[in-house]
Structure 1
Amino acid sequence: MHIPSSTTGQIEVLPFDAALEEALRPSPDYDVDRWLYVPNVYSEYRYILGTRGTRPLICVGINPSTAAPDALDPTLQSAQRIALSNGYDSFLMFNVYAQRATRPDDMEREYNPFLHGENCKAFAYLLSLSPAPAVWAAWGNIIEKRPYLMDCLRELAELGRGAGARWFTAGPPLKSGHPHHPLYLRRDTALLPFDVEQYLSLR
């Protein structure tokens, strides 16, 4: 369980570029040839966690919990299984908001513009890893927990549009119209095209 110790505005947040530079260096804690973990130490926020490959699937959730290299939580274990089942050789977990909180109800009430800006840089980096990025919308109804989350997603969708990203859901959307969260999905759940622009236009 990760309960935020403070708001992210009360801590030093490492800019994404600096965090990525550190994450690309050898680490005594995990195999950097297998994992991409930014920042590369456990903290109150996380930009990226995933495996390295030539055909990655970018999985977009809402916010990070306790997962770290070689210690994936159930959500990320499910995300990895579904990515591999759908023909991808790796998965990269990204989140609409980078603050760690196991319970979304513990997320900060007001978003941190600096953290969000650096998180957007992380998403742009992930998009740059593939000529035609594949992005899995996987946030479930949790996106309704904070009003700022949909606004953050709109900016991410704009970055995806500029990079020619293809969006998917795992199975059909929920009755609410939101894409399924990965946690309780079967490992062989098929990815289906997802019109993120239409989704956003209805909200």
Structure 2
Amino acid sequence: MHIPKGPTAGLELALFEPALQAALQPSPDYDAARWLYVPNTYSEYRYILGTRGKKPLICVGINPSTAAPDALDPTLQSAQRIALANGYDSFLMFNVYAQRATRPDDMEHALNPALHAENRKAFRYLLSLSDQPAVWAAWGNIILKRDYLMDCMQDFAADGKAAGAKWYTAGPLLKSGQPHHPLYLKKDTQLLDFDIDAYLCAQRAK
């Protein structure tokens, strides 16, 4: 379990671009030719964790837990299975907020703008890996835990639109109108088209 040590504003953040360059180099801890892990060491936050391939599925959750290369947690194991079942050769786990917290209730109550800015650079990088990026909305009701999460999502939707991304959900939406979290989905759950703009409009109207 990961319990945050304190607000991320008190951390000296690893900026995304140099952290990415470090992650692209060989690592003594894992196979960097197979894994993309940014930052490439365990810390209080994580921008990206996933596998490398020519046809990746970007999975968007809420915040990281303890997962690392060769040590995926159940949520990421499920995300990987569903990506492969839907014809993708790899998955890239991204989160609306980069702070690690196994229990979403432990996420900080105030947005750290610096962390969000670096996380947004990470999302733009993932979008750049494909001509038409495939993005899986996979956050469940957890996005309602903090008001700032939906504000962050507005930025990521704009970035996706600029990159020509196509959004999906795994199975139909929950009764709450949120997309399913990966954890309890069947491994062969099919991806369905997801209108991110209509979703955000509906959320703003609530």
TM-score (norm 1): 1.00
Distance 2:18 2:52 in 1: 19
Partner residue, 1:70: 70
Q: Does 1:17 align with 2:17?
A: yes
In the TM superposition, what is the alpha-carbon distance from 1:108 to its structure 2 partner?
0.3
Runs of 4+ in 1 over 2 A off after TM superposition: none
Q: Indicate the SS of the match to 2:127.
A: helix
In the TM superposition, residue 83 of structure 1 has moved relative to its aligned partner by 0.1
Q: Which residue in 2 is equivalent to 1:121?
A: 121
Counterpart of 1:200, as a letter, is: L
Q: Distance in 2 between matches of 1:12 and 1:42?
A: 14
In 2: Cα distance, 1:199 partner to 1:36 partner: 30
Name 2:50's counterpart in structure 1: 50
| TM-superposed deviation, 1:97 | 0.3
Structure 1: gaps of 5 or more residues:
none
Q: Within 5 Å, which residues of 2 pair with 1:114-153?
A: 114-153=114-153
Q: Which amino acid aligns with 2:163?
A: A
2:87 maps to amino acid: G
* Counterpart in the other structure of 1:166: 166
Tell me the residue number matched to 1:103: 103
Q: CA deviation at 1:77?
A: 0.1
Name structure 2 gaps, 5 residues minimum.
Answer: none
In 2, the alpha carbon distance for the partners of 1:87 and 1:187 equals 12
What is the CA–CA distance in structure 1 between the aligned matches of 2:94 and 2:88, rounded to whole Å?
16
Deviation at 1:10? Answer: 0.7
For 2:67 and 2:168, the matched residues in 1 are separated by 23
Aligned Cα root-mean-square deviation (Å): 0.3
1:167 Cα deviation from its structure 2 partner: 0.1
- Percent identical residues: 74
Distance in 2 of aligned mates of 1:6 and 1:21 = 27
Q: Return the offset for 1:179.
A: 0.1
